Amino acid sequence: MTLDLISSARAFGGEQRVYRHASSATGTPMEFSAFLPGQALRGEACPTLVYLSGLTCTWENVTTKGGYQRMAADCGLIVIAPDTSPRGEGVADDAAYDLGQGAGFYLDATEKPWAPHFRMESYIAEELPSLLLDTLPVWDTAIGITGHSMGGHGALTLAMKHPELFRTVSAFAPIVNPSTCPWGEKALSAYLGTDRAAWRHHDACALVESRGWQGDILIDQGSADGFLDEQLRPWAFDEACRKAGVPLTLRMQGGYDHSYYFVSTFLADHLEWHAERLTG
């Protein structure tokens, strides 16, 4: 499998790149952004952080609004930002923003019409890491994952399901209990069907209870987030972590909302947090 370089721009001694490739997991072209610090440009293997975006987003949102490149350069950290779903003609979609293209929920769909292309867990946890290891100077024992909102859900669930791959995990305003919130119930029933037992394999609260986690977890949540009470409810994950004995730092950030103003304020903290743990 080959990567096509779409764009490249110099930043803080490294390069911000965008790649496209044909995906066997989704059966579509997929794009992702990759920040390579100076060390990576010189061919040195670097720790890597995967950032998963939220509903309606692509790789572009965090790449242009996150402001993480300086910290990534300082930490010698590769940052990968994939898309949120397969896209294109022939790919199933929905008129609503919270289902279909832009709303893949980082799972492998089993229901029609989504199953042929919506295989985002296989893409993020299998195909993309293999591709990165084959083509970029990624340190294979030092990969972390983070994300925002739906991407925070993806980061938490994929880390706990694939601990041999993801060594660290954090999140921004994640959907922690999709089995019991409107966004999650809509998506999980559409993609996986009505068997709620199957939903638990994609629910961070259920997964931390059944699988635990090998390290600590960092979550930032804005107290002025309009989705806090109905969709996010981080206190449910806090309680689940306490029961499972998993160390969680849940930082409620006063006055912050759900936007990239919030994410960009604390994203450098998360990069530094991951880099410290990935490099030992």
Q: Which of 117, 148, 202, 258 is catalytic?
A: 258
pLDDT band at 135 (very low <50, low <70, confident <90, very high): very high
pLDDT of residue 220: 99
Report yes or no: 190 and 199 within 8 Å, Cβ to Cβ.
no
| pLDDT tens string 239-257 | 999 999 999 999 999 999 9
Residue 1 has pLDDT above 80, yes or no: no
Residue 150 has pLDDT above 90, yes or no: yes
Q: Which of 98, 153, 225, 274 is catalytic?
A: 225
Helix (H) or strand (E) holding 14: strand 14-22
Mean pLDDT score, 63-86: 98
Q: Decide: pTM greater than 0.85.
A: yes
Report yes or no: 90 and 77 within 8 Å, Cβ to Cβ.
no
| pLDDT tens string 170-198 | 999 999 999 999 999 999 999 999 999 99
Is residue 162 annotated as a catalytic residue, yes or no? Answer: no
Residue 113: other Cβ atoms inside 10 A: 14
Architecture of domain 4-279: 3-Layer(aba) Sandwich (3.40)
pLDDT band at 267 (very low <50, low <70, confident <90, very high): very high
Percent of the chain with pLDDT over 70: 100
pLDDT band at 2 (very low <50, low <70, confident <90, very high): confident
pLDDT of residue 201: 97
Q: Which of 85, 149, 203, 220 is catalytic?
A: 149
pLDDT of residue 158: 98
Is residue 258 annotated as a catalytic residue, yes or no? Answer: yes
pLDDT of residue 203: 98
pLDDT of residue 247: 98
| pLDDT tens string 97-131 | 999 999 999 999 999 999 999 999 999 999 999 99
| pLDDT tens string 196-222 | 999 999 999 999 999 999 999 999 999
21-26: long-range contacts, CB 8 A cutoff, minimum separation 24: 21/131, 23/86, 23/123, 23/127, 24/127, 25/119, 25/120, 25/122, 25/123, 25/126, 25/127, 26/86, 26/117, 26/118, 26/119, 26/120, 26/123
| pLDDT tens string 7-52 | 999 999 999 999 999 999 999 999 999 999 999 999 999 999 999 9
pLDDT of residue 280: 84
pLDDT of residue 217: 98
Is residue 274 annotated as a catalytic residue, yes or no? Answer: no
Closest residue by Cα to residue 221 from 210, 237, 209, 208: 237
